[in-house]
């Protein structure tokens, strides 16, 4: 019998054990709300880009609340409430979401850390759902801090294991396939998209890494769970460019209804800081002869180079029942990541390390020495006013599992 990978869900005040925890996609399909997903790094030393993740989560909550509340509260929830507008810049909203997420993380993260095997990272999904009943109780009182603190939002934390793909190793490139239309609104990351994109799975070719989206059968927007980039030669010279200035990095703009991914933004920042030509334009399949490299980005993969992109010979064929009924045209890339992709990946990883260690919300709080042994634990606790209070203690020469047990005990004693 196959061993079930440890996965834990904290929801409604209860931590579900692995045997009772559904796959994360099944959980998201059946629970409305805004969500974000990240993972740990450096043998679970810290959570990647957690400050950026929390900001994106707050933004998504505000967007859904204002423009599409059924995606936050649930499709079967109806109300005559006239909801007041809610800004993602509201200190009250930011404080409430951070407090709820951090409080929930303290309940489940230590358990997951204790069960994690050597070399594994943890994938972390935080889901914020609206509680319409609680909101209705104080309809006439306006949206104030007391209502926020009275259960207007529920937070669930899902933690599983994740083994990152090693960048640059032969055979670790992504196999991509363009299979369907883009989403209607990607300004917020919401759980109902997990259900919607499921219908595209019938068109996933064997060994397909990710499914790409296009509205017109030419311009590629993004992946179902990733952002998509190409590195174009500036002319049709077959000679390999010796400088980044011979190329241009392209990705679809936000106005094309693509998700404003965290790693997507980091790639843009890297291109600007390193002088790599960059343009926000949807890569066109009709110009794929100029594509020298391609890669996808996500909070789990970070950056993965593409080995092959498959495009349907006929756009109408995407109405087929399976991938086998479709005739595909393939774009192959050289094995291994190209020069520009490698430069960008290196810079993204350096940002991951620097932001992970410096983040004030780095409450995973485990620091290791060069040998990989845990030597310090830091616990960051979010107070009701949204401020951060730090408790830290350094313990030397402790075994990894002993340290995790002590970490768990310290949190339970808070």
Q: Do the domain assignments include residue 239?
A: yes
Same structural domain, 158 and 245: no
Within-domain flag for 371 = no
Domain end, chosen from 144, 164, 184, is at 164
- Residue bearing tokens 């995407």: 318
Q: Are residues 235 and 343 in the same domain?
A: yes
267 part of a folded domain:
yes
Residue 305 near residue 336 (C-beta atoms within 8 A): yes
Phi-psi region of 372 (alpha: psi -120 to 50; beta: other; left: phi over 0): left
Same domain, 159 and 193: no
* The domain boundary residue, chosen from 319, 337, 353: 353
The whole-angstrom separation of Cα 408 and Cα 305 is 38
Work out whether strand 210-214 and strand 220-223 pair parallel, antiparallel, or are unpaired. antiparallel
38 and 60 both lie in a single domain: yes
- Residue 403 falls within a domain, yes or no? no
Determine the straight-line distance between the first and last CA of the chain, rounded to whole angstroms: 39
Residue 56: Cβ-neighbour burial (10 angstroms; 0-12, 13-18, 19+)? buried
Q: Are residues 142 and 184 in the same domain?
A: no
Domain that residue 34 falls in: 8-164
Q: Give 180-226 pLDDT, tens digit per residue.
A: 999 988 999 999 999 999 999 999 999 899 999 999 999 999 999 99
Q: What's the number of domains the chain is made of? A: 2
229 plus 118 within the same structural domain: no
Greatest Cα pair distance, the chain, in angstroms, is: 69
Same structural domain for residues 210 and 339?
Answer: yes
Q: Is residue 33 part of a domain?
A: yes
Report the pLDDT value the prediction gives residue 185, as an integer from 0 to 100.
Answer: 83
**Residues in Cβ contact with 328 at an 8 Å cutoff, skipping those fewer than 6 apart:** 177, 205, 310, 311, 312, 313
Query: Is 254 in the same domain as 329?
Result: yes
Rounded Cα distance between 367 and 66, Å, is: 40
Same domain flag for 222 and 159: no
Report yes or no on 410 lying in a domain.
no
50 within domain boundaries: yes
Q: pLDDT tens across 137-193, in order?
A: 655 555 554 455 567 899 999 999 999 999 988 889 999 999 999 998 899 999 999
Sort strands 210-214 and 174-180 into parallel, antiparallel or unpaired.
parallel
For residues 182 and 215, membership in a common domain is answered with yes
Same-domain check for residues 12 and 116: yes
Tell whether 114 is covered by a domain. Answer: yes
Shared domain for 118 and 47, answered yes or no, is yes
Q: Which of 328, 353, 378 is the last residue of a domain?
A: 353
Residues in the chain predicted with pLDDT less than 50, given as ranges, are 1-2, 145-146, 358-414
């Amino acid at each position: 019998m196959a061993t079930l990978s440890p996965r834990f869900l904290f929801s409604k005040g209860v931590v579900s054990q692995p045997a009772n925890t559904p796959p994360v996609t099944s959980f998201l399909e059946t629970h409305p709300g805004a969500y974000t997903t990240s993972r740990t790094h450096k043998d679970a030393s810290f959570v990647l880009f957690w400050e950026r993740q929390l900001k994106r989560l707050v933004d998504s909550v505000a967007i859904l609340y204002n423009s599409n509340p059924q995606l936050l509260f649930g499709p079967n929830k109806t109300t005559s409430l006239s909801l007041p507008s809610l800004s993602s810049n509201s200190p009250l909203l930011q404080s409430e979401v951070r407090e709820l997420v951090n409080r929930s993380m303290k309940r489940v993260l230590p358990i997951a850390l204790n069960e994690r095997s050597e070399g594994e990272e943890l994938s972390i999904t935080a889901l914020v759902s609206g509680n319409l009943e609680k909101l209705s109780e104080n309809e006439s009182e306006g949206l104030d801090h007391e209502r926020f603190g009275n259960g207007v939002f529920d937070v669930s934390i899902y933690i599983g294991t994740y083994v990152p793909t090693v960048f640059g190793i032969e055979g670790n490139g992504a196999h991509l396939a363009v299979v369907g239309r883009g989403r209607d609104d990607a300004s917020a990351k919401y759980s109902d998209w997990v259900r919607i994109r499921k219908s595209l799975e019938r068109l996933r070719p064997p060994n397909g890494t990710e499914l790409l989206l296009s509205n017109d059968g030419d311009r590629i927007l993004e992946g179902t769970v990733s952002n998509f980039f190409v590195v174009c030669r500036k002319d049709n010279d077959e000679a390999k460019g010796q400088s980044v200035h011979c190329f241009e990095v392209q990705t679809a703009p936000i106005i094309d209804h693509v998700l404003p991914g965290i790693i997507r933004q980091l790639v843009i920042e890297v291109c600007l800081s390193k002088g790599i030509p960059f343009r926000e334009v949807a890569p066109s399949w009709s110009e794929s002869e100029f594509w020298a490299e391609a890669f996808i980005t996500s909070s789990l993969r970070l950056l993965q180079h593409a080995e092959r992109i498959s495009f349907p010979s006929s756009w109408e064929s995407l109405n087929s029942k399976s991938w086998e009924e479709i005739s595909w045209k393939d774009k192959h890339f050289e094995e291994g990541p190209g020069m520009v992709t490698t430069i960008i990946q290196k810079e993204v990883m350096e940002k991951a390390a620097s932001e992970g260690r410096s983040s004030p919300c780095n409450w995973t709080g485990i620091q290791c020495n060069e040998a990989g042994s845990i030597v310090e634990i830091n616990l960051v606790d979010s107070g009701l006013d949204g401020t951060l209070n730090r408790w830290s203690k350094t313990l030397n020469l402790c075994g990894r599992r002993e340290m995790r047990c002590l970490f768990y005990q310290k949190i339970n004693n808070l």
